[in-house]
Amino acid sequence: MKFGQDFQAALNRDEYPRQWIDSAISYKKLKKCIKRVQQELESLGLDKDTLNELWQHVGSSSNDKEGVSADMRLQYSLNVTGNVKFTPRLTIAIDPIDGSPIDAWLSKDTKRVLQRLAKSSTTVDNSSGVRNNSVAGQSDNLGSAGENDQSRSDGDHGTNIDDPGHDNSNGRGDHLETIEIPLTSDSEFFQILRRELADLDRVQQSERHRLEQEIVKLGHELRDLKASKSKKSKQEIEAWRQILELYSDAEVFLSSHEADAGSRDYTHAQEHFQTFNKTLATQRNGVLKLSKPAADSLGRFLNINVKLLRLMKFQDINRTALSKIMKKFDKRTALHAQSSIQSSLITAPYLAQDLARATCFTISEEILNVIPALNDYLCPVCFTISWKPVRLRCNHIFCIRCIIVLQRRGKTHCPLCRESVVMEATADNVDRELMKFFKDNFKADVKQKQRENELAAGIDRWGAQYEQSQKCVIM
């Protein structure tokens, strides 16, 4: 099955909104445009084989970042004015004396057409679409050495452009001129493509705005829940803390691992979201209990992720369609548009913007930050909550128990940065503000750590038998 059929089937199968489908890349329509470009080039004697041969000999592989050939004999460049005009231009160098193309690889018929265009450019108005431009500083050996005389013929004039007797003193030796091939179908192709990319960008911006509104609304609900002093609300906040920790660990849209750091594509994001859902379902069947309002809020949170995944998938299939149609354009026309023009297309916000990263930032700001994650406040030595938090001069934080142990063992260096700061820590290094934050947000974890610290202190004072004495024995 051809890509065009697969693309249309994907648009219909995934039940995208009608507005989305209408804004998608019109792959079949663009294919028809490519056919017209191909026919127009062939009518000028510039079929794809001729152009491929020409690109090969002018050294297209050494194009600069603008896609312009180094020796200026063949260019397919772009003229962009504002947001409306988007005009590709195909230009070929000509001899300023007689208008013959400066290239020995063109056929007689092709040279004859180009020479006629060059002549007409001196008599027609600029509005005709044919331009005649000077390119200074070119050397006089732009022809191809070693070709036979017939291949060097310049068409109607029968002039050998590399004839040693040909006077170059005021011609190619000092400067050369270019003619612009008056194509219209390629402009139509890129105008359609650019308009559709703009439509896709508007759809994306609109959907992203809706998602952000839903995220902000959910964030307000969690803030209200957190502000409540009821026992039930505290239990639900604790449940939400577990949910959001599972979500952060799943790294659905963004990876922090070195092997695949950065934004995930749709396929991998979908896999990680499914893993998160399975883990969440297991927790909900076990210790995680939610009231109906909290369950409804969780449902909306999951739905936000589903909507984002669907938008990412729609974005991905349109990116693929763009890549495919540009490759087909180059294959059928040999105009090398991908190297010279696609760079201008991909600056469109639809392709340049990282949708997942932008939306995840909003989720982090509006939801994840409402309920702090315990993992962000663990002591880097014992991996439990940093109670009481001791902030060393190097600004690293450890629990007071671990600092005491390090000092007793004569360890002077910070375990993280190796700066000599441990022995100078005193009661003044305890971060009182952070202690209050822990009490407000991690009450159960603080109580557990306090019990562990008391037990450790008793063992230090009374020995290992102290731990045994704290256990209740039923006779």
Give the per-residue pLDDT at 396: 95
Q: Residues near 278 by Cβ (< 8 Å), separated by ≥ 6?
A: none
Question: How far apart are alpha carbons 331 and 383 in whole angstroms?
Answer: 59
Average pLDDT of 224-242? 85
The model's pLDDT over 25-44, given as tens digits with 9 standing for 90+, comes to 999 999 999 999 889 888 88
Token code pair at residue 197 = 């990319």
Give the per-residue pLDDT at 78: 59
Mean pLDDT value across the chain = 76
Domain boundaries, the chain: 187-370, 375-470
DSSP labels for 214-240? HHHHHHHHHHHHHH--SHHHHHHHHHH
Closest alpha carbon to 385 in 395, 393, 377: 377
Question: How far apart are alpha carbons 78 and 335 in whole angstroms?
Answer: 12
Give the per-residue pLDDT at 263: 82
Question: How far apart are alpha carbons 1 and 376 in whole angstroms?
Answer: 50
Is residue 343 within 8 Å of 193, Cβ to Cβ?
no
- List the single range of 155-164, 215-224, 302-311, 350-359 with lowest mean pLDDT: 155-164
Is residue 345 within 8 Å of 78, Cβ to Cβ?
no
DSSP one-letter code for 366: I
Average pLDDT of 221-239? 85
3-state secondary structure of 172: coil
- Residue 386: is its pLDDT beyond 90? yes
- List the single range of 121-135, 193-207, 228-242, 380-394 with lowest mean pLDDT: 121-135
Give the per-residue pLDDT at 391: 95
Highest mean pLDDT among 138-142, 222-226, 335-339, 415-419: 415-419
Closest alpha carbon to 147 in 117, 177, 102: 102
What is the percent of the chain with per-residue pLDDT over 90, rounded to a whole number? 28
Comparing 185 with 473, which gets the higher pLDDT?
A: 185
Token code pair at residue 116 = 């006629």
Tell whether domain 375-470 is in CATH 3.30.40.10. Answer: yes
The model's pLDDT over 246-283, given as tens digits with 9 standing for 90+, comes to 998 999 998 888 777 888 888 999 999 999 999 998 88
Position 375 confidence tier, pLDDT thresholds 50, 70, 90 = confident
Q: Where are the beta strands (DSSP E) in 246-378?
A: 254-255, 262-263
Q: Please give the span between the terminal C-alpha atoms of the chain, in angstroms, as a whole number.
A: 79
Give the per-residue pLDDT at 79: 59
Give the per-residue pLDDT at 25: 92
- CB 433: neighbour CB atoms within 10 A? 9
Q: Where are the beta strands (DSSP E) in 163-275?
A: 175-181, 254-255, 262-263
Average pLDDT of 169-182? 54
Question: How far apart are alpha carbons 372 and 248 in whole angstroms?
Answer: 12
Position 469 confidence tier, pLDDT thresholds 50, 70, 90 = low
3-state secondary structure of 362: helix
Comparing 95 with 12, which gets the higher pLDDT?
A: 12
Question: How far apart are alpha carbons 173 and 71 in whole angstroms?
Answer: 14
Give the per-residue pLDDT at 255: 86
Highest mean pLDDT among 40-44, 46-50, 305-309, 459-463: 305-309
- Residue 398: is its pLDDT beyond 80? yes
Position 456 confidence tier, pLDDT thresholds 50, 70, 90 = confident
Question: How far apart are alpha carbons 23 and 9 in whole angstroms?
Answer: 15
Position 405 confidence tier, pLDDT thresholds 50, 70, 90 = very high
Average pLDDT of 223-252? 87
Give the per-residue pLDDT at 286: 63
